[in-house]
Chains A and B, each alone.
Chain A
Amino acid sequence: DAGVIQSPRHEVTEMGQEVTLRCKPISGHNSLFWYRQTMMRGLELLIYFNNNVPIDDSGMPEDRFSAKMPNASFSTLKIQPSEPRDSAVYFCASSFTSGGSRNEQFFGPGTRLTVL
């Protein structure tokens, strides 16, 4: 199993540019999570999907952030326009959930975003 795949691993962009982060979850997993990690705020959940449907986006900072999951094997997190305060490491994680069960989340390697 290849694990959760994220691309790009590193992204450097200028303020005002659009940034798109990509995630491929583990095959068979039906829940997908986007996190942001910074020194100041730690690991924050931005949004999560279950069966490709967004369930909770209360962690999305503002309208500049959007996420989609067009199918079970692909998700994107988009920032438009980007700002220097968006600089962080963005993680994607996936898990298999059924009914009321809980299972561990498997994390990707992360995308380190730097906005100049």
Chain B
Amino acid sequence: AQSVTQPDIHITVSEGASLELRCNYSYGATPYLFWYVQSPGQGLQLLLKYFSGDTLVQGIKGFEAEFKRSQSSFNLRKPSVHWSDAAEYFCAVGWSSGAQKLVFGQGTRLTINP
């Protein structure tokens, strides 16, 4: 079965530090890749997406992600985090050979130390 893995359940970083959240997906047909963010009590908001083309994609709030086909990865990065980035982050993948649905990772909870 197609799957998405976010190895880190919880990450804590200091404000101003760099951030990388990992996402790996099971091999399959061409993937469509997304990162969503969820603040407490809120729905999920799209940060960025990759469909094709340049493997480094820019998103909102200063986030970027890089698609590495050889590693089946789509890691999320930010050079300098802000206290407002504290939230839960979800990686999601759809496959061209599959139906319209997305498979979500379990999420990574990000805590920011002042």
Residues in A lying within 8 Å of B, measured CB to CB: 4, 31, 33, 42-43, 45, 48, 50, 55-56, 91, 93, 95, 97, 100, 102, 104-110
Please tell me if B104 contacts chain A, counting CB pairs below 8 Å.
Answer: yes
The CA-CA distance from A91 to B96 in the complex, in Å, is 24
Listed from nearest, the 8 A-B pairs whose CB atoms lie closest are: A107-B43, A102-B32, A107-B44, A43-B104, A42-B106, A102-B94, A109-B43, A104-B46
Q: Given the interface contacts A42-B106, A42-B107, does A48 sit within 8 Å of B101 by beta carbon?
A: yes
Residues in B lying within 8 Å of A, measured CB to CB: 32, 34, 36, 42-46, 49, 51, 90, 94, 96, 99-107
Whether A104 pairs with B34 at a CB distance below 8 angstroms is: yes
User: Whose C-beta in chain A lies nearest to the C-beta of B51?
Assistant: A102
Q: 12 A-B pairs, CB-CB below 8 angstroms?
A: A4-B43, A31-B100, A33-B101, A45-B102, A45-B104, A93-B44, A95-B100, A100-B96, A104-B49, A107-B44, A107-B45, A109-B43
The CA-CA distance from A85 to B101 in the complex, in Å, is 25
The CA-CA distance from A104 to B92 in the complex, in Å, is 10
User: Whose C-beta in chain A lies nearest to the C-beta of B42?
Assistant: A109
User: Which of B94, B99, B102, B106 has the most A CB atoms < 10 Å from its CB?
Assistant: B102
Whether A55 pairs with B43 at a CB distance below 8 angstroms is: no
The CA-CA distance from A105 to B92 in the complex, in Å, is 10
Which A residues are CB-close (under 8 A) to B94? 102
The CA-CA distance from A97 to B100 in the complex, in Å, is 8
The CA-CA distance from A73 to B46 in the complex, in Å, is 22
> CB within 8 A of A110: which of B43, B100, B107?
B43
